[in-house]
Structure 1
C-alpha cells in the first residue's frame, strides 16, 4: 500500500518530486536545530519515505491517450 499516489500527473516532473523531498528534509533539519527529537523523527521519516517512493522506486505511468475530438459540423 502506497501512501503517495504516484500515478497522479503532479508527480511526473522531477523538480516537483525533488521539491517535496527537499522541503521535508529541510523541515527535519530545522527540528533538529530546534532540539525537537520527536518532530525531527516524524518529519525525517516522511522525508525518507517520500525519497524512497518519489525518487528511488518512481516509475511514471504511461500518459493516457486523449480521445479524438469529433469535428464539429459547420452549417
Structure 2
C-alpha cells in the first residue's frame, strides 16, 4: 500500500500534484521561521516524499 498513490484520479490534474507536493515544503519554511525545527523536519519529510511520488515518479501511463 502506498501512502500517496499518483495514479489516483484526484491527482490527474497536474496542478493538484504540484500543490500537494509544494504545500508541505512551504509549511516547513513557515515552521522554520517560527522557530519549530521539529515540525519543520516533519513537514519537510512529507513534502520531499510527495515530490518524489507525485512529480518525479509520477503516474504510470497505463
Give the TM-score normalised by structure 1.
0.74
- Higher Cα Rg, which structure: 1
Moved over 6 A (4+): none
Going by fraction, where is helix more abundant, 1 or 2?
2
Q: Distance in 1 between matches of 2:4 and 2:35?
A: 29
Where does residue 44 of structure 2 map in the other structure? 44
* Residues 36-72 of structure 1, C-alpha deviations (whole Å, 9 max, x = no match): 010000000000000000000012454xxxxxxxxxx
Superposition CA RMSD, Å: 1.3
Alpha carbons of structure 1 residues 29 and 45: separation in structure 2 relative to 1, 3 Å: same
Structure 2: runs of 5+ lacking an equivalent: none
Where does residue 55 of structure 2 map in the other structure? 55
Where does residue 14 of structure 1 map in the other structure? 14
Give the TM-score normalised by structure 2.
0.88
